[in-house]
Amino acid sequence: MRIPPRRRREYRVVLTAFLLLLAVGTLSGCSAAPAPTPSNTAVPVPTATAAPTETPPVFASNDEALAAAKAAYTKYLSLGDSAGATDSDSWEEYLSLTTGTEHDGAAQVGKLMEEKGWSFTGVTLFDSMTIQSSRALPDSTWEIRTYLCLDLSSSDTVNDAGDSVIKNDEPRSPMIVVFVTPDKNSRQLLISESPIWSGSNFCS
């Protein structure tokens, strides 16, 4: 399915650079579904969200939630950069940091990369993470929604010959990354989704 040019970016960050560029439509022969467009396309403004009174907060403050989210995302990117084949322990460890649509996308992309003989090189970075909301979900697990800038300037995806298979004119992309706890008693954060922010590019 073809997508509008202004939305040719990442729908979710899985194997970071690869899937970002896959959704941008810059990988040869590939395109992805458009990212959801928020009702307000201005630069996002972080807002604090109070937890329901019946559910004790998992994190005492937005600062504490932000620190946990930064640590979780740093580990996620690091393992994604170094993950091996889809049958390796390192790949399974990488997948264990995801859930929901992020997990499903990671599994699909890993298989596709192996089929095409592509591999990832370099390191993926991020900066400017801020909290959009931190709240309890109906099942008493916890959700943290963040904004951040994903930086692909030090990474690449190459074929068996070592040639780049990507074209990335915007190495820094604005993302919404959502973290959830696996259960109500846990402080572990898993990445559940990471759509592109389709409003103003606050990373440029």
Q: What is the pLDDT of residues 63-75, one digit of tens each?
A: 999 999 999 999 9
Residues in the chain: 204
126 forms beta bridges with 150
* C-alpha dist (Å) from residue 141 to 47, 94, 146, 180, 201: 20, 22, 17, 7, 31
Domains of the chain, first to last: 9-34+61-193 (3.10.450)
Provide the token pair at 44.
């996002």
Residue 171 is encoded by which pair of tokens?
A: 């190495």
Instruction: Give tens-digit pLDDT for 122-162.
Output: 999 999 999 999 999 999 999 999 999 999 889 888 899 99
Helices (H), the chain: 17-24, 62-82, 89-95, 100-116
* Tokens at 57, concatenated: 């907060």
How far apart are alpha carbons 30 and 24 in whole angstroms? 9
Q: pLDDT of the chain along its 204 residues, tens only?
A: 333 333 333 333 344 444 454 444 344 334 333 444 444 555 665 555 554 445 678 888 999 999 999 999 999 999 988 988 899 999 999 999 999 999 998 898 889 889 989 888 899 999 999 999 999 999 999 999 999 999 988 988 889 999 988 776 678 899 999 999 999 889 999 999 998 888 888 998
At 145 the three-state DSSP class reads strand
